[in-house]
Amino acid sequence: MSEVTTVSADRRVFIDKQSPQAYRALLAAAEAARAVAADAGLDRVVVELVNLRVSQINGCAYCLNVHTRAALAAGETAQRLGVLPAWRDTELFTPRERAVLGLAEATTTPADAGVQEEAYRAAREVLSDEEISAAVWVAITINSFNRVSIMSKHPVRPAPVR
């Protein structure tokens, strides 16, 4: 009989550290998705908008922290980041960005077939096949990272004061 090690219920396993080969494969998938996005003409700001919107829906504090900094570094504005949860109610996002955000949301919450169909229809009006594929792959990979960080309870620590 093998010995079972018990772990207190409040201490989480950092699954990225526990199973590094699986995490490296996820990193490679995300890198490939970013390359596909770049090849399709979706710039880093659009990719970070997807990363942020999906992370908002999933409630992943760790990924929100990481991708807010990445979006700002890519040139995104604080105003657009602030209204991202309500992007449909503003005029701050282009038709392409709106289509990508709609696809990202539909990928994150696929159970609502009506929303999914509407997002896809809207995307077809302004995005190429390559852009649609890239947007969905970016959303799939950030959804995966959200689950890694949520299940591991990766901490978000205060940024150093500059």
Q: Which two tokens stand for residue 19?
A: 């199973």
Whether residue 158 lies inside any domain: the answer is no
Q: Which two tokens stand for residue 130?
A: 């390559």
Q: What is the largest CA-CA distance in the chain?
A: 64
Whether residue 117 lies inside any domain: the answer is yes
Total domains, the chain: 1
Whether residue 6 lies inside any domain: the answer is no
CATH number at residue 68: 1.20.1290.10
Whether residue 160 lies inside any domain: the answer is no
Tell me the pTM: 0.90
**pLDDT one-digit tens code per residue, 33-66:** 999 999 999 999 999 999 999 999 999 999 999 9
Q: Say if residues 123 and 100 touch (Cβ distance below 8 Å).
A: yes
Question: Domain range for residue 130?
Answer: 43-152
Looking at the predicted structure, is the pLDDT value of residue 7 above 90?
A: no
Sign of CA dihedral 21, 43, 80, 123: negative
Alpha-carbon span 102 to 117, nearest angstrom: 10
Whether residue 4 lies inside any domain: the answer is no
